[in-house]
Chain A
């Protein structure tokens, strides 16, 4: 191949020589942007017709020499990874060329799906975040560091449990029953997302990517930017691009950091003395205090009363470190990037650890003039470790939940008896000297010492591509990608006490395997006609198939306590974690971009998707978008009006399109199926699931209008966008009349909602001096979500938290996931009773124990009132933020740099359910604010008279308005102080760069929210039960010290 090319080139040369009368030699040198000589650069002599008439390569010193005819007009310099450059040789015999890395211009290139586009040609709404903003942060996955970096992107890390998948919302929540999580495309391959662990340890699939390996994250938001992904585009698309080798000599870089994390803003709790007195007072108020029914202090081994701070047993200061070594480089034909990383992170909860080994290999090779190929292999092994539930991942009410146990366990008992043995009574913690049957749930120390709940993931993402460019304007590309997630779950409950007590020990091992292959073929034409008409046309076909299966074993009743694994001796085996499924997506797509005279750009995308999950009558759907951009600053009138003196650039863009969502749809959701069972010992086949042959995607019609402009010679750039996304065909599980006798609710595309809003962003370099620079980026987003209709017979959707309480409601005329609580009117100063407002709007006074002649629930006049419950709840407050964004500033002075990123959110409310537990009048320990309780007539306080056993007055039994708080906050997300060693020093030791830094994460939270952290979600990614903080472990605060060194 290559021989042939050189042969052809020689022939051309010979022919050229035959015809040319006068030949000459042009010499020169080629360097990179830093002045280092580049060897192996292809130098082509071009004629007026731009045909190659001669070719040469630069030598080791970057020098070249080429003989050209008098027809040669210019020299073209080409090198993989560097911008091609053409230099005129008219009248010159010597040229010096500096080639600039294409990656230096990466910020000018945006990934758009099946290709890239120059930023100035973009007609859609895309936000780009550079990899370095995400690297070297004390996070497990890159998205955790994405918050505040891009307008319209809201990131919520649901809890302090390591590796919890963040809740990502691009321009609001788009779905009720399905997922509102965006599509994640890593190096062109749509990848698995979500929590793949089936134990109490979280296992975010995206944690397989070492954040240090990321070159850029591009967030596609509007239809123009996402429609090329058709049925999966409605929630936006995140394009992750991993690093590739850059031209020049081999570069070795080392990134290491070590960090220390701690829990923050924990509620202040009663100590043993306060607890004992307060609970006894509540018993007296209930009339049940007696010698055999009271709380009592107990002396510990040192002779002093036991006063346990349970936080100390559950939380810790975690130590974390991360190390990445990468080797990269490129020559004229091959670029490569190899990286290996290892991180170990201890969470703030004891025994909650994250360990990741990651390897990445990216290779691109140009085999001759027409063919290039390459690929990548990324392997990671992640150990997600924990002892038991934290109560944070959808199991808010787990009795083992460490977040909750630390709050409510009596402080006057110890985890140990005085002889040093564990204190327990059956499954529960021992009661000490207290005369009650229960003073806590599980003994957390036994659980932390004995139990385990781990998930080990092996994750492989790879792809291979072959690209052929037979002519300069035509590119054919074929890519085959795969994504395998293999998860080994291992869970053990000790028989001593706690979760394993009832079953006399329990061990579960289950394995799950998820595989995806993506085969993509594209053809692309790029041509400029008559200098003014730039046309780019893409066509493609893609097949994506995912399969998954799971199996495992649960064994209970241990033969001997020494056995703690599934292979040991156990009495009873049960099946565990059985699952099987598959889905398939077949797609055809195309995109046409036309630019006239670099001023007007039109763009159209089209995608036809067939999805296996959908009804047999509606397997295929067509999605599209049309958009346009106008670079006004390129118009003559702009300069003639002297507007160019003010605006250095000015662009208007608009788009409209239709995109879909099937995220989270069950593999067989559309099918009617029969399940199996038993009758009289024989098997049965029962109609168990009713399908819908017309089941189809949720559809969003999105409008986007934006302007971008720069002033002061692009020192300050503004972007302002309005968007409107109308979603219809929302998939709802619509109940049918029970007399129809259907076995299940039927999924139907019926609901509607919209998200509307504005985004505003500024990027500025206020100061750009020789030694001092200040760069600043600010973004703010406003979003309004509104559910406009549900279905007949489904006028509201009530969503639960932890399966036990229902604080969320979705109802037409309101934003999704409103808080749904029963209202209160404070505490009656005369009697200390809680005043509820019932569904009829009447005040109802509640006392847990009613004296003779009175009632538990009564009206102000003392007459009996109906019981107040969750049936009296009202649609109360919005959990969707109105405004959110980030403010990022970097100051550099010589080698020093200071970076501060603030993120903020305003206008949302949270249900602080934890607070209900903190004021529960059962044996539960309380927050110190109960000391403000009502004690005598005339006391004006928010805390009712404590009556032992009362779980209604403060919201434990059903959600109350008193536990709803504003979620507004400003967080100092990261503060980094770094120092770059001067070049002069580094050159002596052959180091190209070295940077030391110290950074703080979550250093500061400015909020009136009384809980530890307003930015949590008890229900994870749930769309209709967002904004709930029920026994959630708060996010950690971390200090890191790190170093980056490049060789």
Chain B
């Protein structure tokens, strides 16, 4: 009996002792997030990741608002009325420091977060995802990821690096990272040159052009997701920033017909809208909006990132009136007639005038425009003038297309322009009117080597000045010993 008992107990215990750890318990899979191992297991997850890259370039104030605002307030159009560094006071007066949280630190880390998401995605597609969704869809998705990576690098170059004209891109750009990072590692990496980064941006956009679908399934998706013409349109912007006007013309001609009315004849049928104001109201998905960042009540821009909050006064849309329009800015242009449809977005409240392009009250969910067809037309016009140094007739037609849509009474002819420079200047004025508050003025100033303008209480910064570009993120300098400051 005693022995039997002993054996039974020993056997039972032996089984328990021999029993291994339960592997499913020891390696639990979280059920409220998706593990890295399974992120490429289905088309839905893969496409979800593509959308996540868009959401990331949109969120936390990148192309969803703050990038546009930073570029606009570096120009001469706006007055900072709140002296709040959280909403760009130091950007406006050209004094951001390496540790300016809401601009220098945040834009740097956010842009690289997008870049890494794209890189992780591109790596994962190569390793697994392409087999799941097939080569065509994989090409589409990777093209979107590369386009968004290009947009991120482009934004970094505009803010943190000397313009391309300075030494033909030989100046330090930003660290160029093309591999996905998922864990700790040695991440010390020096800055690539401006030219190297632009070369990568163009390679990404060219890949996107070749692999994106011609059109997406709906007007909404044609505005919020990239298609072939999105890549081409962005290339016109990128080449213009590099001063490569011939390439701007080549790219633009792919999506701009030879004669008015100018439209894109392949892919999404981009064209100017008859009424300028329709572009900036729901549903925001006209064929003029090549790429915009969508917002909704459950997808808000987040506190102090919203275009409407910055530019609208409380009497207009409950915004904070962070920036009013300077009377010395483009609003003072006599050629911009009161009857111009675009003037309807310049409204006076009290003693100040404000840009009222973004009108949705809290929580300010106007779509944020990234690139519009009007810009492509003006990019082409400017490139034609600057490349030929002549009063280019086609350029005047393009200019008139943009002007005439909002102001039928003003028609430019070659007689209006004594020199090519005069025409180029008029095109720049048109850009300031047409694209006011859409985030292009800062990079227009720097790509042309103009000084950053003087404003009330702020001196001009010459194009050789240290403040002409932002300093590098202090966190980057601390943690990446190979990265040097501007």
Q: Which residues of A are in contact with B by a Cβ distance under 8 Å? A: 1, 4, 370-371, 468, 470-471, 474, 476, 478, 521, 523, 539, 541, 543, 545, 578, 580-584, 586, 588, 610-612, 616, 619, 667-668, 671-693, 734-743, 746, 748, 792-793
* Residue B388 CB within 8 A of the other chain: no
* Min distance, Cβ B319 to any Cβ of chain A, angstroms: 20
Contacts of A672 in B (CB 8 A): 35-36, 182-183
Contacts A674-B35, A738-B108; A690 near B183 (Cβ below 8 A): yes
Residues of B209-232 whose CB lies within 8 A of A: 220-221, 224-225
Residues of B114-167 whose CB lies within 8 A of A: 114-117, 119-120
Contact with A along B175-215 (1 / 0, CB 8 A): 10100011111011100000000000000000000000000
Contacts of B332 in A (CB 8 A): none
A/B interface sample: 10 pairs, CB < 8 A: A370-B2, A521-B13, A584-B25, A671-B30, A680-B54, A684-B55, A689-B33, A691-B36, A691-B183, A741-B115
* Min distance, Cβ A1024 to any Cβ of chain B, angstroms: 20
* Min distance, Cβ B441 to any Cβ of chain A, angstroms: 27
Contacts of A521 in B (CB 8 A): 13, 16-17
Once the chains bind, are A741 and B184 in contact (CB under 8 Å)?
no
**Which of A4, A476, A675 is in CB contact (< 8 Å) with B9?**
A476
Once the chains bind, are B479 and A679 in contact (CB under 8 Å)?
no
Contacts A737-B188, A793-B478; A674 near B33 (Cβ below 8 A): yes
Contacts A586-B26, A679-B58, A687-B36; A737 near B51 (Cβ below 8 A): no
| Distance A539 CA – B16 CA, assembled complex (angstroms) | 12
Contacts A582-B28, A672-B183; A735 near B475 (Cβ below 8 A): yes
Once the chains bind, are A541 and B56 in contact (CB under 8 Å)?
no
| Distance A541 CA – B1 CA, assembled complex (angstroms) | 27
* Residue B476 CB within 8 A of the other chain: yes
* Residue B252 CB within 8 A of the other chain: no
| Distance A579 CA – B456 CA, assembled complex (angstroms) | 52
Contact with A along B21-41 (1 / 0, CB 8 A): 110011110111111100100
| Distance A676 CA – B47 CA, assembled complex (angstroms) | 12
Contacts A685-B34, A690-B182; A679 near B9 (Cβ below 8 A): no
| Distance A182 CA – B45 CA, assembled complex (angstroms) | 42
Contacts A672-B183, A677-B52; A686 near B478 (Cβ below 8 A): no
Once the chains bind, are A584 and B479 in contact (CB under 8 Å)?
no
Name which of B70-78, B291-299, B368-376, B416-424 contacts chain A: B291-299
Contacts of B51 in A (CB 8 A): 679-680, 682-685
Once the chains bind, are A673 and B55 in contact (CB under 8 Å)?
no
Contacts of A474 in B (CB 8 A): 6
* Residue B112 CB within 8 A of the other chain: yes
Q: Which interface residue of A584, A612, A685, A743 has the most chain B CB atoms within 10 A?
A: A685
| Distance A668 CA – B36 CA, assembled complex (angstroms) | 12
**Which of A523, A616, A737 is in CB contact (< 8 Å) with B13?**
A523
Once the chains bind, are A688 and B181 in contact (CB under 8 Å)?
no
Once the chains bind, are A584 and B22 in contact (CB under 8 Å)?
yes
* Min distance, Cβ A110 to any Cβ of chain B, angstroms: 26
**Which of B21, B27, B36, B175 is in CB contact (< 8 Å) with A543?**
B21
Secondary structure at chain A's binding surface: helix, strand, loop or mixed? strand
Q: Which interface residue of A521, A692, A693 has the most chain B CB atoms within 10 A?
A: A521
Contacts of B34 in A (CB 8 A): 673-676, 685
Contacts of B54 in A (CB 8 A): 679-680, 684
| Distance A746 CA – B113 CA, assembled complex (angstroms) | 15
| Distance A346 CA – B155 CA, assembled complex (angstroms) | 60
Contacts A738-B476, A739-B476, A740-B187; A679 near B116 (Cβ below 8 A): no
Contacts of B175 in A (CB 8 A): 739
| Distance A257 CA – B115 CA, assembled complex (angstroms) | 66
| Distance A362 CA – B48 CA, assembled complex (angstroms) | 55
* Min distance, Cβ B480 to any Cβ of chain A, angstroms: 4
Contact with A along B462-481 (1 / 0, CB 8 A): 00000000000101101110
Contacts of B21 in A (CB 8 A): 543, 584, 586, 610
Contacts A612-B25, A680-B294; A741 near B31 (Cβ below 8 A): no
Q: Which interface residue of B5, B19, B33, B188 has the most chain A CB atoms within 10 A?
A: B33
Once the chains bind, are A586 and B22 in contact (CB under 8 Å)?
yes
* Residue B109 CB within 8 A of the other chain: yes
Contacts of B189 in A (CB 8 A): 737, 739
* Min distance, Cβ A480 to any Cβ of chain B, angstroms: 11
Contacts of B1 in A (CB 8 A): 1, 4
Contacts of A671 in B (CB 8 A): 30, 35-36
Once the chains bind, are A739 and B48 in contact (CB under 8 Å)?
no
Contacts of A792 in B (CB 8 A): 479
**Which of A588, A616, A677, A680 is in CB contact (< 8 Å) with B224?**
A680
| Distance A582 CA – B58 CA, assembled complex (angstroms) | 34
* Min distance, Cβ B258 to any Cβ of chain A, angstroms: 34
* Min distance, Cβ B200 to any Cβ of chain A, angstroms: 14
Once the chains bind, are B184 and A584 in contact (CB under 8 Å)?
no
Once the chains bind, are A675 and B183 in contact (CB under 8 Å)?
no
Nearest to A793 among chain B residues (CB) is B479
Once the chains bind, are A685 and B112 in contact (CB under 8 Å)?
no
Contact with A along B443-486 (1 / 0, CB 8 A): 00000000000000000000000000000010110111001000
| Distance A676 CA – B3 CA, assembled complex (angstroms) | 60
**Which of A678, A685, A738 is in CB contact (< 8 Å) with B49?**
A685
* Min distance, Cβ B483 to any Cβ of chain A, angstroms: 7
Contacts of B414 in A (CB 8 A): none
Residues of B352-374 whose CB lies within 8 A of A: none
| Distance A610 CA – B27 CA, assembled complex (angstroms) | 10
Q: Besides the contacts A690-B182, A735-B475, what 7 more A-B pairs have beta carbons closer than 8 Å? A: A471-B2, A586-B20, A682-B48, A686-B117, A738-B473, A741-B109, A748-B184
| Distance A692 CA – B27 CA, assembled complex (angstroms) | 14
**Which of A541, A684, A738, A741 is in CB contact (< 8 Å) with B52?**
A684
Contacts A674-B36, A690-B182, A737-B480; A742 near B13 (Cβ below 8 A): no
Once the chains bind, are B16 and A685 in contact (CB under 8 Å)?
no
Once the chains bind, are A470 and B117 in contact (CB under 8 Å)?
no
**Which of B294, B296, B483 is in CB contact (< 8 Å) with A737?**
B483
Contacts of B5 in A (CB 8 A): 370-371, 468, 470
* Min distance, Cβ B148 to any Cβ of chain A, angstroms: 11
Once the chains bind, are A684 and B9 in contact (CB under 8 Å)?
no
Contacts of B27 in A (CB 8 A): 612, 616, 619
Contacts A584-B22, A685-B34; A678 near B112 (Cβ below 8 A): no
| Distance A148 CA – B48 CA, assembled complex (angstroms) | 58
* Min distance, Cβ A944 to any Cβ of chain B, angstroms: 26
Nearest to A686 among chain B residues (CB) is B52
| Distance A681 CA – B55 CA, assembled complex (angstroms) | 11
* Min distance, Cβ B466 to any Cβ of chain A, angstroms: 20
Contacts of B28 in A (CB 8 A): 582-584, 612, 667-668
Contacts of A738 in B (CB 8 A): 105, 108-109, 112, 473, 475-476, 479
Once the chains bind, are A739 and B55 in contact (CB under 8 Å)?
no
| Distance A987 CA – B6 CA, assembled complex (angstroms) | 49
Once the chains bind, are B33 and A688 in contact (CB under 8 Å)?
yes
* Min distance, Cβ A464 to any Cβ of chain B, angstroms: 15
Contacts of B12 in A (CB 8 A): 478
* Min distance, Cβ B111 to any Cβ of chain A, angstroms: 9
| Distance A560 CA – B47 CA, assembled complex (angstroms) | 45
* Min distance, Cβ A489 to any Cβ of chain B, angstroms: 19
Nearest to A545 among chain B residues (CB) is B25
Nearest to B58 among chain A residues (CB) is A679
**Which of A691, A741, A793 is in CB contact (< 8 Å) with B117?**
A741
**Which of B20, B33, B35, B116 is in CB contact (< 8 Å) with A741?**
B116
Residues of B400-452 whose CB lies within 8 A of A: none
Contacts A468-B5, A612-B27, A674-B35; A679 near B299 (Cβ below 8 A): yes
Contacts of A693 in B (CB 8 A): 183
Contacts of A468 in B (CB 8 A): 5-6, 9
The 6 closest A-B pairs by CB, nearest first: A741-B116, A685-B48, A586-B21, A686-B52, A584-B25, A737-B480
| Distance A689 CA – B473 CA, assembled complex (angstroms) | 22
